[in-house]
Amino acid sequence: MKETFIDVRAWRQFVAVAEELHFGRAAIRLHMTQPPLTQAIAQMERSLGVMLFDRTRRRVALTPAGEALLPDVRDFLERAQALPVRARAAAAGEVGRVRLAFVSTIGFERLPEWVRDFRVLCPQVALELVEATGDVQRALFARGELDGGLVLHSPGAAPPELARLAVAEEPLVLALPASHPLAGVPRLDLAQVLAEPLVIFPRRIVPSLHDAIFALYHAAGRVPVVAQEAIQMQTIVNLVWGGLGVAWVPESVTQFRREGVVYRAADAFGPAPGKAWTKAVKAVPSPLPVCETSLVWPVGLNNPALARFVDFVRERSAAG
C-alpha cells in the first residue's frame, strides 16, 4: 500500500475543525477563508481513505475515526512544535548521547561526581558508561562504538591517534598485606621491596605504566619477580591480600579499602648522575613513576554532547 504524506499544516487544520466543530469558526481561527479549509479537509479524507467528519447543514461532528485520530494528532503537533528548540539544544550539546568508557581508577571518586553533576547540568544528555581497560577502549574506538574514554597511562603517553585532555596525575603507592613485616613502616624505600614478588597488570593494558615500573627496577639493577598478573585494580589488591605479592597501584586505589591490605608511599633510590649502580655508589633519591588519566576521543569527532562533556570535565579538572 502506498504511504500517504500529509503535511503539518493540514493536521493543524484538522485539529482546528475538530475543536471548533464548525468550518467557519475554524477558518477564522486559522486566518483563512472557509472554502480552502473545506477543500483541504476533503483532500485529507481522500488521501487517508476514511471520513473524519460527519457534515450536515446544521452540524459538524467527528466520526469514530476522527475521534480516534485527534489525540495522536495533537501529540504529533506538540512534538513538531518542539523540534526547532530540540534541534538547537542538540547543536549546543544539551541533548544527545555520549558513549563513555572508563578505567577503574577514575571510577573510585571523580567519575561518579562528574556523572552526577553533569546529569544535573545536562539532563537530556544520555551518558552510557562502560568500564574498559585501555586496550579494550582502543578497539572500541576503532570500531566506532565509543565517543570518549578515560584512560590511564604514563605522562605524555596517551594514545597518539586520539585527542586528549589530561584530567589527573597521581603517584604510585605500594599495596602490601597487612601481615607483611614492612606494613608498619610509614614510608618505604625501593630497596626494601625489590625482591618482593609482584602482582601487576599485563603490559597490553597500560604499556607505558608497565614499562615505567619495570624501568624503576632495572635502574636499581633488578628484574621484577612477577608472581601474578591481573586486569582490574580491585583484583590486584585482592591478590595482595591473598599473599601473592606486593603491587604498585595509583594513589586513587587507596580509596578501595580492603581489610588486610595497607598502602604505603615509597621513595625510589638510584645511583648518582653519571655513575653505574653499585653498592659502593651513594644512592640519591629519585621520584617514583607517576600515572596520568586522560579523557580521550577521536580527532574530528562531531558530537556536540561529547564536546559539552569535555568542556565540563575541563572546568572540573582545572578547579581541582
| Residue 63 CB burial class (10 angstroms; 0-12, 13-18, ≥19) | middle
pLDDT of residue 127: 92
At 138-155, the pLDDT tens digits run 999 999 999 999 999 999
Residues with pLDDT less than 70, the chain: 1-5, 85-94, 268-287, 320
pLDDT of residue 108: 79
pLDDT of residue 170: 92
Class of domain 95-167+293-319: alpha beta
| Sequence ranges of the chain with CATH classification 3.40.190.10 | 95-167+293-319, 170-290
Class of domain 8-91: mainly alpha
SS3 category, 187: strand
* Among candidate residues 319, 153, 187, the one with its CA nearest the CA of residue 263: 187
| Sequence ranges of the chain with CATH classification 1.10.10.10 | 8-91
| DSSP string for residues in 8-55 | HHHHHHHHHHHHH--HHHHHHHTTS-HHHHHHHHHHHHHHHTS--EEE
51: cell is: 471520513
Please give the CATH number for the structural domain made up of 170-290.
3.40.190.10
C-alpha distances in Å from residue 54, one per residue of 32, 43, 261: 22, 15, 81
At 246-291, the pLDDT tens digits run 999 999 999 888 899 999 988 765 444 344 434 433 444 456 889 9
Looking at residue 106, the DSSP 8-state letter turns out to be G
Cα gap 132→245, rounded to integer Å: 25
